[in-house]
Structure 1
């Protein structure tokens, strides 16, 4: 697959898109420099590709192109709502504006995520693209999820966003991953684990992230 790396805010480029991966012809595309592993991420497991770094200050950035039907969520336990994204489509990405050195001024401050969360109009436009890429049908219980959550310094980029299916018979978009995110956030802010360790664990497999970091079961 030819993935032109794009640094284009969805709020600017995606008006009028209907869920396909073809960008509007009148859009001027700005190439983004080749992404390099973030310096804050250390001790990355050998089997895991280093997380991308994409700065997304309250915008959605399209840093990769996804074709309809190319992505496939992995089912761990449908009854529990344990689904993993396609690692080739959604490898995970972090915002370099958040580092271990500044967590007490960023993610550990109450209300931080509201300052970096893109507006609903922007995420809504990208959600249609992700639905098509993952061949998912619209559902009120499906969440456009940040694989590495904003509360752990995750980026609002195509490489970190996916339509996450929910557990069988779910009545809202609240899902089991939310509890894992909150537990990891608390552990990072109280110094139990490093930011990089939490980011890499949840990107690798959120269903085992707590156990992998010796924080209990998921």
Structure 2
């Protein structure tokens, strides 16, 4: 298992959320453009993200690292809500070959519209990630296309790729 260290986050207040018309949060493309793991390629999908047995569990950084990064990244984004209601999310998810601990791939994702404060983490991005993963592993779309689509705008990724 890889050893992870706390990564430096963008300067305080330098990142700004984008929002869709439906008020879904999107990361700042300058701070969080997404970053991919060089260990995952189109050629090795069966041995990495598409293998049975949990690829993401084996590469996920420990909470001792991500907890500190989440607090620092909240300052980067000016996030002032409860961190219990926000997810420290991979812009390009681990199940799509996103880098596990590159600051360019991590952001404090605030609650979705209508989510009740104190209700814990809940976001609409997760099912999109799973559908993209299924499409990549069934060779309906390429890994690169899925990575680009989700990093650009997760709310339109399925439509962009003809998967909706």
Which TM-score applies when normalising by structure 1?
A: 0.68
- Report whether the alignment pairs 1:144 with 2:88: yes
Q: How does 1:24-39 map to 2 (within 5 A)?
A: none
What residue in structure 2 maps to residue 94 of structure 1? 36
1:206: Cα distance to partner?
0.5
How many residues end up aligned between the 2 structures?
Answer: 157
Counterpart for residue 75 of structure 2: 132
Q: Tell me which of the two structures has the higher relative contact order, counting C-alpha pairs closer than 8 angstroms and 6 or more residues apart.
A: 2
TM superposition shift of 1:172:
2.5
1:102-144: per-residue Cα shift (whole Å, max 9, x none)? 1111101231100000001100010011100000024221000
- Rg (Cα) greater in structure: 1
Partner residue in 2 for 1:32: none
> 2:16 maps to what in 1?
72
Matched, 1:195 2:150: no
Moved over 3 A (4+): none
CA deviation after TM superposition for structure 1 residue 168, in Å: 3.2
1:103 aligns with 2:45: yes
- Which residue is 1:184 aligned to? 132
Q: Give the distance between the partners of 1:60 and 1:186, measured in 2 at CA.
A: 31
What are structure 1's unaligned runs of at least 5 residues? 1-55
**Gaps in structure 2 of 5+ consecutive residues:** none
Paired residue for 2:4? 59
SS in 1 for 2:158: helix
- The structure with more helix, counted as a fraction of residues: 2
Cα distance in 1, alignment partners of residues 2 and 149 from structure 2: 23
TM-score by length of 2: 0.90
**Of 104, 120, 138, the match for 1:159:** 104
**Aligned-residue RMSD, C-alpha:** 1.7
